[in-house]
Amino acid sequence: MVSGIISTKKQGEQKITEKIVLAYSGGLDTSVLIKWLQENFNAEVISVTVDVGQKEDLNEIEKKAKKLGVLKHYSIDAKKNFAKNFVFPAIKANALYEGKYPISTSLSRPLIVEEMVKIAKENNATGLAHGCTGKGNDQVRFDVSFASLAPDLKMIAPVRDWKLTRKEELEYANKRGIYVSNAAKKYSIDQSIWGRSIECGILEDPDKEPPEDVFEWTTTPEKAPNTPQYVSIKFQNGVPISLNDKDMEPLYLIKMLNEIAGKHGVGRIDHIEDRLVGIKSREIYECPAATVLLEAHKDLEKLVLTRHEVFFKQNIDSKWTFLAYAGLWNDPLREDLEAFINKSQEKVNGTVRLKLFKGGLQVVGRSSNFSLYDKNLVNYDIKTGFNQSYSKGFIELWGLQTKMANLLKQKIKDQEVAE
């Protein structure tokens, strides 16, 4: 018998007392939770699958949910909303948590909660549930968003609150006849158009190279094409509007870049991440389009923004990214920061060319009508309006306090030696 998960109530003795809306992915955790909530919480379960581009068969997910006895199932196509209102703001903010992770999973959680809350209100539900563990970040994102948008509803997190292990869940699924794919048995996977995250199993050893079966969106660099591919991305007000001179809707542009960059092995991320709960974790991501677009956007900003804007915005971007990563999407500060970010993006218009080759990514060209780059100022072969004689006085003043501090340090040292 599996400890802490099998119901202690006999079938037929339960009286329905709750109506719970569950964030349902079709995977191990949430499939187990449908039965768990029915058996242990006396609940009718309404399952909600929000499509943010996870490349899964929503019809099969719905069939599975209904087979497990849900009261209702909702499949919501939120891909366009996700691309325009969540991913694009992240591009503007150069959102890379700890300089590596494009917060692909993080961005989808507030959107999923928004849809869940709408459905909960339509169905007079009594609670909201998710399948997050007590060790990860997603529990924070769901719980804080639940509390922000539906504080009157119960928040239920069975995997965390009952301390369910992956082994216990697999045993429970087997006993209840719940189908679990081979991939789900091996890894914990989350996907959206902005990226794919993979955890568990051998990946928990930070010293082991990820096996190739971990990756689905990216070709191993050794097998990537032997010829580089160039891509051209046009930005307007800080967001991409065309790929290789073809205007595209946000969703389609991201999809195409995922395919192109993934084919060349671009977008694999393996890093040690600091979770909110204090744990250092080894994380594996595939983010082809995100890797390309963020690199291009940062490069274009450096061309059109002043040094002061670039340096100041780095701090704003870092704070915005942390809020999104840390489950504080609904905090007023995010909108405050976006007011500055959006203003700065008015000049981020132009085109960036990049070279993709064997897992590598390199910006090879950029142009903009708002460019602050003046070739005449940097040209060493001709006389320009830049008066080089001014540099001598500038350097003297620029380093004056540094010079004074070191003179003082030497004076004190000399005095100590004399004594």
29 is catalytic: yes
Cα 114 from chain centre: 17
109 is catalytic: yes
Instruction: Label residues 96-117 b or e (16+ Cβ within 10 Å = b).
Output: bbeeebbbbbbbbbbbbbbbbb
For helices 104-122 and 307-325, what crossing angle results, to 10°?
Answer: 50
How would you class 324 by CB atoms within 10 Å of its CB: exposed for 0-12, middle for 13-18, buried for 19 or more?
A: buried
Which of the following is catalytic: 104, 106, 138, 197? Answer: 138
CB 135 within 8 A of CB 323: no
- The torsion angles phi and psi of 59, rounded to 5 degrees, stand at -65, -40
Q: What whole-number distance in Å separates Cα of residue 229 and Cα of residue 260?
A: 9
CB 44 within 8 A of CB 69: no
Which of the following is catalytic: 29, 143, 190, 317? Answer: 29
3-class secondary-structure state, position 181? coil
Which DSSP category does 284 fall into? E
CB atoms within 10 A of CB 346: 11
Q: What whole-number distance in Å separates Cα of residue 287 and Cα of residue 376?
A: 39
Q: 145 is written with which tokens?
A: 């968003």
Q: Name beta bridge partners: 236.
A: 239
205 is catalytic: no
CB 231 within 8 A of CB 244: yes
Which of the following is catalytic: 106, 108, 188, 344? Answer: 188
CA distances from 58 to 61, 132, 189 (A): 5, 21, 16
Q: What whole-number distance in Å separates Cα of residue 414 and Cα of residue 411?
A: 5
Q: CB under 8 Å to 166, separation ≥6 — which residues?
A: 28, 188, 200
Q: Any idea which residues carry the catalytic annotation?
A: 29, 109, 138, 188
